[in-house]
Amino acid sequence: MTLGKELWSLVAIVAVFLHMAVSAMGGDGPAFRVREEAERIVITGPSLEAAIRKWGYVSGVEAQSFLDVRTGFRDPGFGLDIVDWLMENGPDDAYRDKLPGDLPYSYNNLVHGKRPKRSIEGPQVCTQAKRLEPVVITGRDFVAVRQGHAYTLAAPGKKAGSRWEQTLVFPAGKRYFLAADRVTSVNASEGLFLRIDMPGHIRHRAGDTFSEVYLSYRGLIPSREFLRDFPPDEKFLYVREEGKVPSRIIRGYHLRDPKTGKDGPWLAALTLDPSVVSEAWCHQRGYVCMIQEVGGRPVKPSETFGAAYLTGYFDSIDEMNRVYDEHAGHRGLRADASGWTLTREP
């Protein structure tokens, strides 16, 4: 009789622990389902879905794969946190005819405006790296993906081999993911920066997929401002000024259902340390182009720089601000099977 009570007590204790474990994992199983395909990794959770491409147009979250389960809206652009070159401000006239691959950079045009810039290392990751090898980390209540690429082209007088690394973390129950881009440079530079799409571009026809853009350093901009093409430096350009860095850098847009014309959630990116952004564009070039440049300060060989972001769906600007302030001040992101954490350094 006594043994029976002890056995029942043991069963009860085990049941409690199993219930706690299942609850932590989210319902009756893991918080996320991860499916690995030949071309991509597909992540499905209770609040969002996303895919990470292995080859083709790579880096970040794949175009139109980022789903807000609650509302059914998706990213209408070409992907989120998409990565380009390492660059500097200034012309490349002295060696333009010697630049390999896709490193020549044109300006004085509608696409890039009048501000002279030069590529230092490439190729452009998203279009030319061709294949990445993302690594999936599955935790108790999150899924993380790590990927990276060493640049193989360099401007005359520079080395190739700087490494870009990206960490993406999808926390259970959230409508956003966290991300960090980190560069370890093999070159010295007075102002090296990484160019990325942040959060991503907006494909539209006369504003049918969004009703307004929000730039925290500028305010609300109606979609009618993007009905004609204009260069990045004509309007809505952000350039960092020392001593005048804004308290937040949030860039997003209010999604609109192109079939019904009704507004949905906001899709926005929060750069958690605003001081890392050297320049940011928001202009029309057949689509709304949202380029952000990270770094732009002196760097020595083997030194690192980077930024951390929070990108996802929000019901209001107030919600964006509240979430921003909860995570502000971070530049990096670390993840392993035991958990993930934002860090103050890249």
Per-residue pLDDT reduced to its tens digit, 188-221: 999 999 999 999 999 999 999 999 999 999 999 9
Angle of CA points 106, 108, 112, to nearest 5°? 60
Angstrom distance (rounded) from CA 144 to CA 136: 6
Dihedral sign, Cα of residue 271, residue 273, residue 274, residue 279: negative
Q: How confident is the model at residue 58 (pLDDT cuts 50, 70, 90)?
A: very high
Average pLDDT of span 143-157:
98
Q: What is the pLDDT of residue 7?
A: 44
Collapse the DSSP code of 320 into the 3-class scheme (helix H, G, I; strand E, B; otherwise coil) and give the result.
helix
Collapse the DSSP code of 113 into the 3-class scheme (helix H, G, I; strand E, B; otherwise coil) and give the result.
strand
pLDDT at residue 18 tops 70: no
Q: How confident is the model at residue 145 (pLDDT cuts 50, 70, 90)?
A: very high
Sequence-distant (6+) residues with CB within 8 A of 36 are: 42, 136
Cβ–Cβ under 8 Å, residues 120 and 101? no
Angstrom distance (rounded) from CA 163 to CA 151: 6
pLDDT at residue 22 tops 90: no
Residue 276 is assigned to a structural domain of this protein: yes
Residue 139 is assigned to a structural domain of this protein: yes
Residue 73 is assigned to a structural domain of this protein: no
Q: What percent of the chain has pLDDT above 90?
A: 91
Furthest-apart CA atoms within the chain: distance in Å: 92
Domain count, the chain: 1
Average pLDDT of span 235-240:
98
> Which pairing describes strands 288-289 and 332-336: parallel, antiparallel, or unpaired?
unpaired
Residue 229 is assigned to a structural domain of this protein: yes
Q: Which domain holds residue 184?
A: 79-343
pLDDT at residue 23 tops 50: no
Cβ–Cβ under 8 Å, residues 312 and 168? no
Element of type H or E holding 286: none
Q: What is the pLDDT of residue 31?
A: 87
Across the chain, mean pLDDT equals 92
Q: What long-range pairs does 162-168 form, CB within 8 A, spacing at least 24?
A: 162/86, 162/121, 162/186, 162/187, 164/83, 164/86, 164/125, 164/194, 166/59, 166/60, 166/81, 166/83, 167/333, 167/334, 167/335, 168/52, 168/60, 168/61, 168/81, 168/144
Q: How confident is the model at residue 29 (pLDDT cuts 50, 70, 90)?
A: low
CATH code, 145: 2.70.98
Average pLDDT of span 237-246:
96
Residue with tokens 């990213």: 75
Distances in whole angstroms, Cα of residue 236 to Cα of each of 6, 40, 225, 251: 71, 35, 10, 11
Residue 11 is assigned to a structural domain of this protein: no
Q: What is the pTM of this model?
A: 0.90
Which token pair is 37? 């395909």
Which token pair is 310? 């929070």
pLDDT at residue 274 tops 60: yes
Residue 262 is assigned to a structural domain of this protein: yes
pLDDT at residue 185 tops 80: yes
Average pLDDT of span 92-102:
93
Residue 272 is assigned to a structural domain of this protein: yes
Residue 29 is assigned to a structural domain of this protein: no
